[in-house]
């Protein structure tokens, strides 16, 4: 008797905050990759961003992700990386999720995918997951040799968490850029008020 085969996507990131382009990407990935489940994985300690800016608490980012992705079918939000002690490495997450009958697909922007060879244990990332690349306008790139990958097709939405944080700090509206429940969390907790 053969075991169950499951196609599982992993969509990691800081998600500070998650925005409508993240939600559109999640829905597109579930459909285009025929995923049984897409796990949204907010980073605990994103080692490549530490010291570059203030990052909202893991708990706040988890609640914003839950609010943003709840309407998307087959998408779940995991606290695995937020709860992990020390720096967060994708390879550790992939190892924890892998197992018999599990086919992992790691979602990455084209700019990030191009730098995969600089990641912690990149050869193990290549062994554990297929890379699903989503285009980022003006930041084209593809994974280095040795990575199995495919390209996702997405509508052109020019939204970034960086711009949303800037707008919030400047007192500018973010309506329509983030789901309403994410906006409510940002307002209630006074997130991103400092540039």
d(CA 147, CA 106): 11
Residue 121 lies in a domain: yes
What is residue 191's predicted lDDT score, i.e. its pLDDT?
Answer: 96
How is residue 147 written in tokens? 């990575």
Residue 106 lies in a domain: yes
What is residue 80's predicted lDDT score, i.e. its pLDDT?
Answer: 96
Residue 147 lies in a domain: yes
What is residue 29's predicted lDDT score, i.e. its pLDDT?
Answer: 97
Residue 116 lies in a domain: yes
Letter string b/e over residues 107-139, b meaning 16 or more CB atoms within 10 A of that residue's CB = bbebebbbebeebeebebbbebbbbbbbbbeee
Residue 120 lies in a domain: yes
d(CA 80, CA 78): 5
Beta strands in 21-164 (DSSP E): 37-42, 75-77, 102-109, 129-134, 149-151
What is residue 41's predicted lDDT score, i.e. its pLDDT?
Answer: 97
Residue 194 lies in a domain: no
Domain of residue 107 covers 6-189
- 18-66 pLDDT, tens digit per residue, is 999 999 999 999 999 999 999 999 998 765 555 667 899 999 999 999 9
Query: What DSSP state is assigned to residue 116?
Result: G
Residue matched to tokens 């500018």: 172
What is residue 51's predicted lDDT score, i.e. its pLDDT?
Answer: 62
Count of residues in the chain: 195
Residue 195 lies in a domain: no
What is residue 46's predicted lDDT score, i.e. its pLDDT?
Answer: 61
| Domain at 61, CATH number | 3.40.50.620
Domain count, the chain: 1
What is residue 2's predicted lDDT score, i.e. its pLDDT?
Answer: 54
What is residue 1's predicted lDDT score, i.e. its pLDDT?
Answer: 42
Flag residues of the chain having pLDDT under 50: 1
Residue 160 lies in a domain: yes
The model carries a pTM of 0.91
């Amino acid at each position: 008797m053969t075991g169950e085969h499951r196609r599982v996507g992993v969509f990691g990131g800081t998600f500070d905050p998650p925005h409508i382009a993240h939600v559109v990407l999640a829905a597109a990935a579930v459909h285009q990759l025929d995923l049984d489940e897409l796990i949204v994985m907010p980073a605990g300690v994103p080692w490549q961003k530490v010291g570059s800016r203030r990052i909202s608490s893991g708990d706040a980012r988890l609640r914003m992700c839950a609010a943003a992705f709840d309407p998307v079918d087959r998408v779940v939000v995991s606290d695995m990386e937020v709860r992990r002690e020390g720096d967060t490495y994708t390879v550790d997450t992939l190892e924890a999720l892998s197992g018999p009958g599990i086919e992992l697909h790691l979602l990455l922007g084209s700019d990030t995918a191009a730098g995969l060879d600089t990641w912690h244990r990149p050869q193990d990332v290549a062994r554990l997951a297929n890379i699903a690349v989503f285009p980022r306008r003006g930041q084209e790139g593809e994974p280095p040799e040795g990575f199995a990958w495919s390209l996702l097709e997405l509508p052109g939405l020019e939204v970034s968490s960086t711009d949303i944080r800037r707008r919030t700090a400047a007192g500018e509206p973010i309506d329509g850029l983030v789901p309403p429940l994410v906006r409510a969390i940002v307002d209630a907790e006074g997130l991103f008020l400092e540039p």
